[in-house]
C-alpha cells in the first residue's frame, strides 16, 4: 500500500465521521508514545464529541485520514479521556518544543509534525517541520525552515526549560473562546499556565470568561499585577467582578487600582451587590441610545461583531447621560421590532411598553422567572431613581443556575460512569452517542 503522510497541525479541528457519514466530533490532538530507538508511535486521537467531552479514539479504529476529514469504524468509547503515563500529546506538548540537531548544526523549534501510515492501524512520526533561529536582526526576518527525521534531532530536557507556546497558540487561533478554554483545561498545569501567559490580553480575557472561577484564579496568580489588570480591563465587567471577588482582598483592591478608572468603577459597583441579585448578575455595558436615535443607528450598533448576541437582542432607551447610571430609563426596543420599521423611524416611538425593568436588589430567582415567562434574553435593571444601571442577560442567569463545574461536566456524566462500570459494549456505538446527545 502507498504510504499516507499527514501533518498533525492540519488535523486540529478536523471532523470525525462514522462509516455512514454521521458526524462524531472534532480532532483536538494526536496521542503518541515514545520508543527506545524508533520514532514515536501514534496510539490514537483525542476527539471532542458533542457535550464538550474529550474521548480517546484508538488509531486502529481510524480507517481513513485525508481531505480535512477522518473516517472511523463508528465504534466510539465515550469514557472521558485521561492521559496515561508515557503518552504524549503532539499539539499540546510537542509543537513549539526546542530540539537540537545531532550533527551539531544548532537548535530549532518544532512547528509541525508529520505522521505516516505503515500499515493498518500502524502510524508513527515520520518527519518534523522545524524552524532554525533567525540570522538577521530585522524584526521581520524569520529563521529558515527545514524538514528533519525524528532521529536527526534530540529534544532538550534541561530542568526548568520552558517550551515555546507560540506554535500551540497559532494552531488554536481559530478556536472559539469556549473551545480554547476547554483545550487549555486539558493541558498539563504548567503547560496551561505557559500558554495562557502568551495569549494576547483580549484573547486571554475571552478565554478566562469561559473557565471555572478556580482555574481563572490559578491563571491570574501567575500574571504580574500590571498584566492581570490589563486582562481584567478586557473582560466583561460582571465577569471581572466575579473573578476579583475570588481573590484575596488586598490583591483584588490593588488590581482595581491598576485598572482603567472607568472599568474599575463598573466593577466596584457590581461588587457592591449580592451575587444572587440582579445587580450582582448584570453587565454594565448594554447598548444605550436616546429616544431621538433612529432605527438605522440602532441596527448599526447591534451589528458590531464583538457584541455578545444577548446584548445585541435589544437597545435601551434613556434620558441623558447615556452611561450607567443613566438618566431616567424609558424602555427597550428589540431588534426584531426595529426590522419592522423604516430606517428613519425614531426609537422613542417604538419602545416596548409592556416590559417592566427590575431593581438591582431583585433576586436571581425572580429574574429567572421573568426571563422564562416572557421569553426574553435580557432584562433591564434600574436603581431606586429609575436610572438604568445594567442588564441581566440569559447567559448571566444560566451561569448562576448551573452547577459550579458545568463547564467541565458533561450531560449524563453519572449515567455514563455507571455504564462504563458495567461494560463497554453499550458504549461502543456511534448510534448510542448520538442518542445520548439528542441528535439523529
- Which tens digit of pLDDT belongs to each residue from 344-380? 999 999 998 888 999 999 999 999 999 999 889 999 9
| Whether residue 437 has pLDDT greater than 70 | no
Decide yes or no: CATH 3.40.50 for domain 93-155. no
pLDDT at 63: 87
| Whether residue 404 has pLDDT greater than 70 | no
> Which is nearest to 31 in space by CA: 41, 20, 16, 22?
41
Dihedral angle of Cα 398, 399, 400, 402, to the nearest 10 degrees: 70
How many residues are there in the chain?
440
What's the pLDDT tens digit per position in 316-346? 999 999 988 999 999 999 999 999 999 999 9
pLDDT at 83: 80
Query: Is the Cβ–Cβ distance between 241 and 232 less than 8 Å?
Result: no
pLDDT at 408: 54
Q: Which residue has the cell 529558515?
A: 144
Domain boundaries defined on the chain: 4-91, 93-155, 175-272, 288-401
| Whether residue 424 has pLDDT greater than 70 | no
Neighbouring CB atoms inside 10 A of 179's CB total: 18
Neighbouring CB atoms inside 10 A of 429's CB total: 16
CA 271 to chain centre: 25
pLDDT at 427: 35
Decide yes or no: CATH 2.30.30.240 for domain 4-91. yes
- Region 388-415: what's the mean pLDDT? 71
What's the pLDDT tens digit per position in 281-330? 999 989 999 999 999 999 999 988 778 888 899 999 999 999 889 999 99
Q: Which residue has the cell 445585541?
A: 312
pLDDT at 73: 84
Q: Please give the class, per CATH, of domain 288-401.
A: alpha beta
| Whether residue 43 has pLDDT greater than 70 | yes
Hey, what CATH topology would domain 175-272 get? Answer: MgtE N-terminal fold (1.25.60)
With bands split at pLDDT 50, 70 and 90, how would you rate the model's confidence at 416? Answer: very low
Query: Is the Cβ–Cβ distance between 274 and 251 less than 8 Å?
Result: no
Q: Which residue has the cell 434574553?
A: 377
Euclidean distance between CA atoms 315 and 312, whole angstroms:
7
Euclidean distance between CA atoms 232 and 245, whole angstroms:
12
Which of 37-41, 115-119, 186-190, 326-330 has the lowest average pLDDT? 186-190
| Whether residue 247 has pLDDT greater than 60 | yes
Amino acid at each position: 500500500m502507498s504510504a499516507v503522510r499527514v501533518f498533525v497541525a492540519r488535523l486540529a479541528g478536523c471532523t470525525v465521521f462514522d462509516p455512514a457519514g454521521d458526524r462524531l466530533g472534532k480532532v483536538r490532538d494526536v496521542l503518541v508514545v515514545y520508543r527506545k530507538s524508533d520514532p514515536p508511535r501514534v496510539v490514537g486521537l483525542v476527539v471532542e464529541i458533542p457535550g464538550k467531552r474529550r474521548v480517546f479514539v484508538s488509531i486502529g479504529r481510524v480507517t481513513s485520514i485525508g481531505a480535512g476529514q477522518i473516517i472511523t469504524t463508528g465504534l466510539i468509547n465515550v469514557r472521558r479521556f485521561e492521559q496515561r503515563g508515557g503518552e504524549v500529546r503532539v499539539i499540546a506538548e510537542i509543537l513549539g518544543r526546542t530540539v537540537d540537531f545531532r550533527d551539531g548544526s544548532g537548535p530549532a523549534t518544532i512547528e509541525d509534525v508529520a505522521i505516516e501510515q505503515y500499515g493498518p492501524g500502524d502510524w508513527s512520526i515520520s518527519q518534523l517541520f522545524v524552524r532554525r533561529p533567525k540570522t538577521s536582526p530585522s524584526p521581520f526576518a524569520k529563521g529558515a525552515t527545514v524538514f528533519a527525521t525524528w532521529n536527526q534531532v534530540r529534544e532538550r530536557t534541561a530542568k526548568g526549560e520552558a517550551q515555546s507556546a507560540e506554535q500551540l497558540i497559532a494552531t488554536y487561533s481559530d478556536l472559539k473562546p469556549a473551545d480554547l478554554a476547554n483545550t487549555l483545561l486539558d493541558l498539563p498545569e504548567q503547560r496551561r499556565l505557559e500558554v495562557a501567559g502568551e495569549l494576547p490580553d483580549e484573547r486571554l480575557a475571552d478565554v478566562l470568561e469561559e473557565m471555572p472561577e478556580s482555574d481563572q484564579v490559578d491563571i491570574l496568580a501567575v500574571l504580574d499585577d500590571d498584566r492581570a489588570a490589563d486582562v481584567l480591563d478586557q473582560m466583561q465587567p460582571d465577569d471581572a467582578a466575579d473573578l476579583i471577588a475570588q481573590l484575596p482582598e488586598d490583591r483584588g483592591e490593588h488590581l482595581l487600582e491598576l485598572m482603567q478608572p472607568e472599568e474599575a468603577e463598573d466593577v466596584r459597583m457590581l461588587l457592591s451587590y449580592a451575587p444572587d441579585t440582579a445587580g450582582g448578575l448584570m453587565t454594565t455595558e448594554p447598548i444605550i441610545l436616546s429616544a431621538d436615535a433612529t432605527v438605522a443607528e440602532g441596527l448599526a450598533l447591534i451589528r458590531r461583531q464583538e457584541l455578545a448576541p444577548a446584548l445585541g437582542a435589544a437597545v435601551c432607551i434613556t434620558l441623558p447621560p447615556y452611561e450607567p447610571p443613566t438618566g431616567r430609563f424609558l424602555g427597550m426596543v428589540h431588534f426584531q421590532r426595529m426590522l419592522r420599521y423604516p430606517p428613519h423611524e425614531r426609537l422613542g416611538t417604538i419602545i416596548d411598553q409592556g416590559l417592566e425593568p427590575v431593581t438591582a436588589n431583585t433576586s436571581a430567582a425572580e429574574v429567572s422567572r421573568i426571563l422564562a415567562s416572557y421569553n426574553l434574553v435580557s432584562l433591564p435593571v434600574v436603581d431606586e431613581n429609575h436610572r438604568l444601571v445594567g442588564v441581566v442577560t440569559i447567559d448571566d442567569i444560566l451561569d448562576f443556575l448551573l452547577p459550579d463545574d458545568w463547564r467541565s461536566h458533561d450531560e449524563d456524566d453519572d449515567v455514563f460512569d455507571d455504564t462504563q462500570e458495567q461494560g463497554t459494549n453499550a458504549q461502543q456505538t456511534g448510534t448510542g452517542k448520538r442518542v445520548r446527545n439528542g441528535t439523529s
